[in-house]
Structure 1
């Protein structure tokens, strides 16, 4: 059974905008960058299986995922790197 230990709601996030980086044949048109989407995410960290699971979900339900870390601190560092959140933004449990 997992337990929510930290959460943040309403994180602004931008997805997309990546330029094409693969090989193209001579004379081929360069593909446009991936479309940019502006999303609002809810994040939470749960204690599971001897580690911490960082979960994210967009408020419109179009994007979600998770990452497993071996500690709460590493999960918070992962959230900082991926979503730009800092330690002061986290609220305890639900």
Structure 2
């Protein structure tokens, strides 16, 4: 299972390369922890977000490696979205581009 620090660093790289992700998003990785993105600021504290995406750390890693399709993960319950679905799709696309 990937470590929270490793995933946070990878998400931070994505945020820095994709300035268009200016609205806050919270990745809820269950027992592994949280990753909060707000523009290029990425941390591990819970904070207000327009979209909360819940998935396992393994599935986040698979998504970033292109081994998991975000739409299929959503349809099969491996990924849950609470809030702005368009923002979730935007983030999934940015993560996949890495």
TM-score (norm 2): 0.31
Q: Going by fraction, where is strand more abundant, 1 or 2?
A: 1
Q: Which has the larger radius of gyration?
A: 1
Q: Going by fraction, where is helix more abundant, 1 or 2?
A: 2
- Which structure has more RCO (C-alpha within 8 Å, separation ≥ 6)? 1
